Structure 1
């Protein structure tokens, strides 16, 4: 029987192309759009008024015969069409109906997609090139309204086309960083791969830990109780899976979402726990943004896993200075991190990776 929870769901961390503007230049923010207009380059107003809608979603299609999908216009490669393609409003169409689970408005949805700028024909982003996918959180108010309106009610296996004017996504200024001008239209081809409720704790098969490691008691909803009595200081990183998740392996460069508890090996004192802040933590992994023990201990683990890490000081916050004099920097200040020289123990639930 299939679990109602999607076991291999990645973190709902949408790439920048999916993130809507914080304001659309309306209401109380009208002055900000006036400022933008005042500083725009000559000819911008003319371009804005000349970009009359000429694009019909019904004329678009997708060629899936090649190695990766390609957008078409009237059956020909999109870039060969009578550009620019300008849509009057956000629209969507189901090209192929899937028969998988239905997407709910509380779900995370794993998708592959291709995005093209309708004005230039340029490809903005494609996950098909490297056979990747991203996950969209339907409860995230920061992503495009088109996705939170269109995807709930769709099914796994659906293939969708969407046209989204830049103003509907980013506001009146568009998004120059992505190469999307104020009057451009973005065209999305999207495949719905998987859907399910977000993981809130590790889920999978329990694993019997090796002897001599810290013992762990946790309900997955609050900080873990970690007993370090009698545990020897490690001379290298120790990784122990406590629950084997069924999700994809974490890859260096991804952003992962975790719940965790950390204690000092020397005395078992808790120094940090994401549970105390009431929500999971997200960060890039395997790229030097966190301590080495996390980079090395979490890359290669599976989403859904609970992992025990015993980390020597040199892979945490560094070895302790040899004497008190060395403990101070050149300006007479003590080390910035009080965990310097401490071996650390973490229990980490990997809730997603994208």
Structure 2
């Protein structure tokens, strides 16, 4: 058991004659693993041409570290932007395995109404506490004693494409993890990338110590795989420093 604080350390920058930091241009740089990339994008559903999402509608480009498995970045995008230069545009195909995954009919199941909020209706989206944490589902049908819920992502099985334009490429700031050991582990079994972990945790604000989240309060540990971007970046780094 340990407490760790993961932050990107401040960069030291040399000032020019004006006293302002000298900007390092990113012209000529290509996107590669470990680089911080910024892209404008538009996600399109190929079967009907529907625009599902757009960074310009959001008012800001998407920024992520290439190859870090960042949450919210589809696998096909992480792979598709590699080798691109600033200003380059590309249309990246996103079949289900590179997008939101294939549809799995085993994820459509009956749930007793006693376990659901009162008054659920077809089409309603619910968040249910599962054995591995919160799970989102769509209510398909409601019967007298149970409802049929679909736990697939709404875009599971969809054939998509994403138009991207790279607007920035730079070195990603290094991640610095400070660990304070509370209870020592065995010092032998350390997690590595893609290992599945089951952990209890309590999150507090570094500035005040105020608790903002805890698995203990929910009575259920968090289960995730290391290094896939399913948790905040500091966790992916910090957990590899904790032994069983």
TM-score range, shorter chain: 0.3 to 0.5
More strand as a share of residues: 2
Give the number of the structure with larger relative contact order, counting CA–CA contacts within 8 Å between residues 6 or more apart.
2
Normalised by the length of structure 1, the TM-score is 0.31
